[in-house]
Structure 1
Amino acid sequence: MPADKITHIASLTQLSCHPAECLSITTMENLAIQGPILTSNSGYTYTTALRRNSDLSVLPAKYIVQPAVYEDIPLIIACATSLSPPLEIAVKGGGAHSSTWNSSKGGVVIDLCKLNKVTLAPDNQSLTVQGGASWGDVYEVTGRANVDVVGSPLWFVGVGGYTLGGGHGPLSGEHGLAIDNLLSATVVLANGRIVRASRDEEPDLFWAIRGGGGQFGIAVEFTFKVHPSAGPFGSGIIAYPGSELPQVLRIITDWKRKQTSAERFTMTFSRPAPHFKPTVVILPTVLHDHDGTQTQKALAPFRKGAVKPILDKVELVPDMFTVSHAADATLQTLPKSLVIRGTLISDFSPELLLAVYDKWLAFTEANDDVRASAVLFDLTSPNKFAEVRSDETAHPHREPSYWMAVQGRSKTDASVESAREFATSIVSFVREKNAELSGRDLGWWVTLCQGDEKPEDVFGSNLPRLRKVKAKYDPKKVWKKGFGIEPLV
C-alpha cells in the first residue's frame, strides 16, 4: 500500500465525533460538511436522489446528505443520533435492492453517490473502490486495464451492498465470491470512528462485513484482489418456448456433468415483449474465449438437441463492462414496481423447476398487470466458493448450491400486493421443496431477503458471533435498516 494511503487511513482511524462531543450541532442543515444536504425544498435534486431501482423502495426522507469526503459522515451520524428523537439513518450505495433498506421515511439517508472513485494499484494486483460506486464504474477501469475483479453481472448494482451480502458473480466459478477476494475495507462506525478492517486490523469487523450485511457500519471503501482479464466473453441469449422446459432441463442435466468453472448461465421464466408468450431464456457467459470456439463448444448441447431455440443470439464481447450492459434494453421496458426475493437450491432438480414453472405460468396468465414477473435460476459452478469454511466469513452458505430469485413486477398499484405474495410463496415453496429433495435446508441468503425472515435462517451457526460483533461495534443499534441483528448483551 502506498505511503500516502497508509497515512490517510491512520489519520482517519483517530477521527471521532461521538454525539456527546457534538452538542453544538442542533440541526442537519447547519452541518459544516463538504457535501450537499438535500430536503424536499431542494426540488428536482431531492426528487432525483430519492429514486431507486424499484419504485417500491422509495420513501420520503427528511434529509438526503451526500458526503463528499469520509470525514463528513461522522458529523452526519452525530447529528442524527443526538436529536430528540433521533433520526433514523439509512445508507444508499447503488439503490438496487428492492426493499426499503436504503431509504427512510422522515429520517436521513446518507447517499454515497459522490464517493464513487475507483483506483487500480500501480502493480495491477489490487483495486480500491469507494462505497458509492457501481459495478459499471469498476468495469470501466478494469476494462481499460485488461484486468478483472469478482463483481455483479449488472452494471447498476452498487459495490457496497453487493459485497456486504457475499457477492455471487460471473467470475465466481473461477475465483469464489466477492468477499473471498476482499483484502480490506474502510468503515465508518456508529461512534464516528473511521477504521480499516482486514484480516490483521479489526478482524472481527472484517469477518462480519463479509456476508453480514450493513449492520456494523458504513463501508466507504473496499480493496479487492485483481485477476487477469477473463475476456473475451461469450454472452447473449438463447430462448425456447416455455412448453419445451422438460426437454431443456434434460439438456441442462447432461450439460452440468461437463460444466467447467469458465461456463455458466442464468435461466429465466419470463414473457418477453412484444408477444408476452411464456419463454425459457438461457443467458450464458463463457470466459476466456478468444475466437468463439469455447462458446460454440459450451453451448452446442443447447442448439443440437431435439428442441430448437426460437432465439439464438450469442456473440463475443470484450469485457465485463459490455457483459454487464447486456440486459439494458430489456430492463428499460419492465415495470418499475419490483419486489425481489430469493433463496438457494442444492441442484437443478427437474421436479422442483417444473413445479415452479407451473406456479409462475398460472400467476402470470391470470393477470396481465403482473405478467412481467419472472423467476431466475443461476447455474455458476459452486466448487470454488465451497472451498471456504462456513465459519470463515459471516456468509454461512458454503455448501455447493445455486441461487434463485423471484422478480414480482406490477404495472399497477392494485397488483403490487399480489406480486409480493407471489414472490414470497414461490421462495418458500422452493426452500421447502429443496429440503425435501436434497435433505438440506439452505435457509435464506441475506442479499435476497426482505427483512421479515428469521435471523437464524439467514446466518445459521454464524448468528451468535455476529451478535457479539454487533454488540462491540453498534451496541445502540444505530444501524437498524437492512436485515437487523440484535446485539448480544
Structure 2
Amino acid sequence: METLAIQGGIEILTVESGEAYAAALRRNSDLSVLPAKYVVYPVIYEDISSILSYALTHRQGGGAHSSTWASSNGGVVIDLGKLKKVTIFEDKQYITVQGGALWGDVYEVTAREHVDVVGSPLWFVGVGGFTLGGGYGPLSGQYGLAIDNMISATVVLANGRIVKTSREEEPDLFWAIRGGGGQFGIVVDITFKLHSAVGPIGCGIISYPGSELDQLLNIIGDWKRTMTPQERFTMSFSRPAPHFKPSIVILPTILHDQDGSKSQEVLKPFREGSANPSFYNIGQVPNMLAVSHSADVALSTAPRSLVIRGTLFSDFFPELLLTVWEKWVEFTEGNEDVRASTVLWDLTHPGSITGVSSADTALPVRSPHYWMAVQGRSTTAISIKAAQEFATSVVSFVRSKNTELSGKDLGWFLNLTQGDESAEDVFGTNLPRLSKLKARYDPKKVWSKGLVIDPAKLT
C-alpha cells in the first residue's frame, strides 16, 4: 500500500497517523466507526483503480448514516474526501459533483450562482450515498427525487475500469445506480439537472404539546388536500430541553416565499387551527445553504451513539401515528439515557415522485408515499441495545400497520436500512434485473457492504 503513495501521491493514513487517522474514522454516529487498517484518499479517479487492484490481490465515501457501511474493521477505506469538486456548466443548466462532496459543498456553489438542485436538507450528508439510494429532499415535491434529476455519472467498476454512464452510455448501469445503492461500483462524479433558485425560503419551528396530536393530525389531513409541491415539512416526536416533555415539532419548508406572506398564509392552519402551538417562529432564509444549516444547533448537543432505521408509509393515518407516539413516549419516559431518541415523519408532496414509473429506475416505490425514520440515541453504552431494538420494532410496526391500513406493502427504504433486511423487501419487482446487473458489473461481490444484492446465476 505504501508503494501506491509513492507512485501516485495518494494520501494513506494508519493508526500511526494519530489525530488525522482518528478524524478520518469519525462518522455522524459513533456506532458507525470501525478501525480500518488503511484510510486511503485518492486524488484522481485512476488512483481508485490502483487501490482496488491492491486490495483485491491481498485477499466506499459516506458516513452520515448510522451503519458501518462506510467503515472497515482492519481493511481498506477508500475516502473520496479529496474528490469534492463542484462544477456548474456555463449555461447553468447542469452541475457536476464529485463523489466526495457533501451537500453543503454543493449549496455553497448553487447559492453563489443563484440556481438550485435536488439535494439533502442537511449540509453534512454525502452527495453519493444520498443520491444512489433515491434522494428525497426539500425540492422533491416540485422536481422529483435526486435520481430523477441525474443526467450522467462516472463509475469505477470492481475490475478497476472507469466508465461513463447515462441513458445513452451503459444505460443498464445508469438504471441500476439510480436507487440501487453502492452495489455496482464507486460513483466518483454525478451530473445533475439544475433548476432556477427556489429562495427566499420560509422555514422555522412550530411546536405543540403532545396533548395536541389528535387535533394536529386532523389539521395535517386537511392541509394535505390543498398543499402544493412547493410546500413540505418534517414532523418529529421529541423531548426538547429544558423541560424534556413529549412534544411534536414541525419544521416547514416553503419555497418561493418572496416576502413572508406565502408562509403566513400556507401555515395559517398550524397557527390558528384547532391545535394550539406552544411555540411558533417562522421566518425567511435566502437559499438552500441556509436551510441545510438550520438543524446545526440541535444536532450539536445530540448524543452521538445513534442508530437510524426507517421505512415508507402511504398516508398520515391517525391510527398509525398515534400508536407510534404511545410507543415512543413509553420508551423515552422509562429511560433517561434514551430520552433524546426521536421519530421523524416527512411530508413532501408526492406528485413529481410518482410521475416516474417503478420500472424506470431501480427504486421500486413510485405510488404516493412518504418516509419516516426512528433515531435511537443513547448517552450510555448500556442503553445502545435498547435504542437499537426500539428503532427496529417501531419501523417494523409502521411497515406492517401501513400494509394493513393501505393495502400496500411498501417494503423498506434503502437509505434508512441497516443491512440485515432482505433485498426482496427493498427492491421488490426490480430485484431480478438488479441481480443480473450485479452479475455483469460485480460478479465477485467486491461491493458487499450494506444491503447486498446477490449476483444472478447466469446459465
User: So what's the TM-score if we normalise by structure 1?
Assistant: 0.92
The separation in 2 between residues aligned to 1:185 and 1:462, in whole angstroms, is 21
Match of 1:92 in 2: 61
Q: Which runs of 4+ in 1 moved over 3 A?
A: 26-31
Q: How far does residue 28 in structure 1 lie from its aligned partner after superposition?
A: 6.5
Match of 1:476 in 2: 444
Match of 1:409 in 2: 377
Q: Deviations over 1:295-337 (max 9, x none)?
A: 0111000011233211111101000000010000000010000
Match of 2:241 in 1: 273
Kept in 2: contact 1:56–1:339 (CA 8 A): yes
Alpha-carbon spacing, 1:175–1:229, altered in 2? closer, same or farther (3 Å)? same
Match of 2:213 in 1: 245
Q: Which amino acid aligns with 1:257?
A: R
Q: Deviations over 1:156-177 (max 9, x none)?
A: 0000000000000000000000
Q: Which amino acid aligns with 2:48?
A: I
Q: How far does residue 266 in structure 1 lie from its aligned partner after superposition?
A: 0.5
Q: How far does residue 104 in structure 1 lie from its aligned partner after superposition?
A: 0.4
Q: Which amino acid aligns with 1:74?
A: S
Q: Deviations over 1:128-179 (max 9, x none)?
A: 0000000000000000111000000000000000000000000000000000
Alpha-carbon spacing, 1:223–1:243, altered in 2? closer, same or farther (3 Å)? same
Kept in 2: contact 1:31–1:75 (CA 8 A): no
Match of 1:282 in 2: 250
Q: How far does residue 410 in structure 1 lie from its aligned partner after superposition?
A: 0.3
How many residues are aligned here? Answer: 457
Structure 1 gap segments, 5+ residues each: 1-25
The separation in 2 between residues aligned to 1:97 and 1:240, in whole angstroms, is 28
Q: Deviations over 1:221-255 (max 9, x none)?
A: 00000000111100111000011111111111111
Q: How far does residue 285 in structure 1 lie from its aligned partner after superposition?
A: 0.2
Kept in 2: contact 1:343–1:448 (CA 8 A): yes
1:75 has 2:43 as partner? no
Alpha-carbon spacing, 1:260–1:50, altered in 2? closer, same or farther (3 Å)? same
SS at match of 1:92: coil
1:156 has 2:124 as partner? yes
1:350 has 2:333 as partner? no
Q: How far does residue 30 in structure 1 lie from its aligned partner after superposition?
A: 5.7
Q: How far does residue 92 in structure 1 lie from its aligned partner after superposition?
A: 2.2
1:440 has 2:408 as partner? yes
The separation in 1 between residues aligned to 2:275 and 2:428, in whole angstroms, is 42
The separation in 2 between residues aligned to 1:306 and 1:196, in whole angstroms, is 54
Counterparts of 1:68-467 in structure 2, within 5 Å, are 68-83=43-58, 86=59, 91-93=60-62, 95-467=63-435
SS at match of 2:124: coil
Q: Deviations over 1:15-52 (max 9, x none)?
A: xxxxxxxxxxx767666222201110111110000000
Q: Which amino acid aligns with 2:52?
A: I
Match of 2:17 in 1: 42
The separation in 2 between residues aligned to 1:364 and 1:468, in whole angstroms, is 44
The separation in 2 between residues aligned to 1:55 and 1:128, in whole angstroms, is 31
The separation in 1 between residues aligned to 2:205 and 2:215, in whole angstroms, is 18
Q: How far does residue 385 in structure 1 lie from its aligned partner after superposition?
A: 1.0
User: So what's the TM-score if we normalise by structure 2?
Assistant: 0.98
Match of 1:17 in 2: none
Larger mean Cα displacement after TM superposition, 396-405 or 304-313: 304-313
CA RMSD of aligned residues (A): 0.9
SS at match of 1:71: helix
The separation in 1 between residues aligned to 2:204 and 2:304, in whole angstroms, is 24
Q: Deviations over 1:30-77 (max 9, x none)?
A: 662222011101111100000000000000000000111111100000
The separation in 2 between residues aligned to 1:486 and 1:306, in whole angstroms, is 51
Kept in 2: contact 1:61–1:104 (CA 8 A): yes
Kept in 2: contact 1:34–1:69 (CA 8 A): no
The separation in 1 between residues aligned to 2:5 and 2:121, in whole angstroms, is 40
The separation in 2 between residues aligned to 1:183 and 1:290, in whole angstroms, is 30
The separation in 1 between residues aligned to 2:444 and 2:382, in whole angstroms, is 38
SS at match of 1:219: strand
Give the % identical residues: 66
Kept in 1: contact 2:86–2:105 (CA 8 A): yes
Match of 1:23 in 2: none
Q: Which amino acid aligns with 1:39?
A: T
Q: Deviations over 1:94-147 (max 9, x none)?
A: x10110000000100000001011010000000000000000000000001110
The separation in 2 between residues aligned to 1:328 and 1:251, in whole angstroms, is 28
Match of 1:486 in 2: 454
Q: Deviations over 1:265-316 (max 9, x none)?
A: 0000000112111100000000011011110111000011233211111101
The separation in 1 between residues aligned to 2:3 and 2:348, in whole angstroms, is 46
Q: Which amino acid aligns with 1:78?
A: S
Structure 2 gap segments, 5+ residues each: none
Kept in 1: contact 2:4–2:10 (CA 8 A): no
The separation in 2 between residues aligned to 1:158 and 1:348, in whole angstroms, is 29
The separation in 2 between residues aligned to 1:137 and 1:379, in whole angstroms, is 26
Larger mean Cα displacement after TM superposition, 336-345 or 29-38: 29-38
Kept in 2: contact 1:101–1:482 (CA 8 A): yes
The separation in 1 between residues aligned to 2:447 and 2:7, in whole angstroms, is 23
The separation in 2 between residues aligned to 1:316 and 1:239, in whole angstroms, is 18
